[in-house]
Amino acid sequence: MDFPERFLQLDQYPIHEPGSEKFNAVVAAAKKQLSVHGYAELPGFVTPEGVAALVADAEEGPPHAYRSSGRGTAYLAAPDTTVAANHPLGTVMPYAVRALPYDAIPTFSPLRQLYETSALTSFIAAIVDVGPLFPYGDPFGALNLAVMAEGDELQWHYDQTDFVVSLAIQSALAGGDFEVVPNTRTAQDEHFDDVANILGGDQENVLVLEMTPGTLLIFEGPNSLHRVSPIEGSRLRHVGLLAYDTVEGRMGSTALRQTRYGRTEPRSNPPLEWSSL
Ligand SMILES: O=C(O)CCC(=O)C(=O)O
Ligand SMILES: [Fe+2]
């Protein structure tokens, strides 16, 4: 089943009319944003009515979300114990996040329906421009509903995938900001001094991305340090994380499944109701 068309702002983002003048102009603008800033923001991609449906659905998920927490480095690797104090390779920072994996998201969930809309996959492929894209083959990582509650946060880090697509569903009352320092490293230079300053609290080059509910964000995270600041207040932060791959059927590691979702065997069928999880 597809995401209802009326939930998409098709006048502004005509993903159903590939090749049209408007489609090409929107894709060109997003590509330009990506090349200059390392991210493309598409505010109002989902209509207010669509956001309301996504929120109502997302509120059913949290009791079933798996919470992982601990301390991690910016490089998502074990800390290097041989480096000097405050060196980024040895610096660990707290994180706590809750995630619902793709296999646990019911077929009637509008978030799942949006992810399974092939016109969206093609639209994102046109923007990212690395060849045809496929929904990520991993039954856990393909789509996540990421839930963050008071005190949860995600430490400064680099992503291990070339890009991530996120959909802002609901913001926290305060905190929960997606903070980015664009282009903190290059393939040639890790810029450890600059990174150490950022990890130490230097806010000078930190950008806060708006992430108004309904915004679709395409973000290139391998070379731009980013984090989600601690959530404050009782309202949950909900973000959909939509994953794509240039290779069909590729999967993530078993270890990652265990730490992020608390299990390694995928369900054979999606649940019929959130309550049947
Ligand atoms: O929750 C978000 O907005 C982004 C999370 C993130 O950076 C990640 O999952 O790697
Ligand atoms: Fe990330």
Mean pLDDT score, 88-93: 98
What's the whole-model pTM score?
A: 0.96
- The proportion of the chain whose per-residue pLDDT surpasses 90, expressed as a percent, equals 94
Here the tokens at position 209 are 């991305």
227 CA distance to ligand 2 middle (Å): 7
**Is the CB of residue 231 below 6 angstroms from any atom belonging to ligand 1?**
no
Q: Which residues surround ligand 2, an ion (CB under 5 A)?
A: 159, 221
- For 109-159, how does the pLDDT look when each residue is reduced to its tens digit (9 = 90+)? 999 999 999 999 999 999 999 999 999 999 999 999 999 999 999 999 999
166 CA distance to ligand 2 middle (Å): 10
Mean pLDDT score, 250-274: 93
Name 225's Cβ contacts closer than 8 Å, sequence gap at least 6: 74, 156, 157, 158, 180, 181, 184, 185, 195, 198
228 CA distance to ligand 1 middle (Å): 7
**Is the CB of residue 166 below 6 angstroms from any atom belonging to ligand 1?**
yes
What's the mean per-residue pLDDT of the chain? 96
**Is the CB of residue 146 below 6 angstroms from any atom belonging to ligand 1?**
yes
The closest ligand to the CA of 239 turns out to be 1
Q: Quick one: pLDDT at residue 1?
A: 58
Mean pLDDT score, 53-60: 96
Answer yes or no: is pLDDT of 258 > 70.
yes
Give the chain's radius of gyration (CA, Å).
18
Q: Quick one: pLDDT at residue 159?
A: 93
97 CA distance to ligand 1 middle (Å): 10
261 CA distance to ligand 1 middle (Å): 15
Here the tokens at position 183 are 């282009």
Residue with CA nearest ligand 1 atom 7: 227
Answer yes or no: is pLDDT of 106 > 70.
yes
**Is the CB of residue 124 below 6 angstroms from any atom belonging to ligand 1?**
no
Measured from the Cα of 159, ligand 1's closest atom is 10
The count of other CB atoms within 10 Å of the CB of residue 107 is 12
Which residue from 217, 228, 260, 261 has its CB within 8 A of the most atoms of ligand 1, so it is best to mutate? 228
List domains and CATH numbers for the chain.
5-276 (2.60.120.620)
Reported as a pLDDT band with limits 50, 70 and 90, residue 63 is confident
3-state secondary structure the chain: CCCCHHHECCCCCCCCCCCCHHHHHHHHHHHHHHHHHCEEEECCCECHHHHHHHHHHHCCCHHHCEEEEEEECCCCCCCCCCCCCCCHHHCCEEEEEEEEEHHHCCCCCHHHHHHCCHHHHHHHHHHHCCCCCEECCCCCCCEEEEEECCCCEEEEECCCCCCEEEEEEECCCEECCEEEECCCCCCCCCCHHHHHHHHCCCCCCCEEECCCCCCEEEECCCCCEEEECCEECCCCEEEEEECEECCCCCCCCHHHHHHHHCCCCCCCCCCCCHHHC
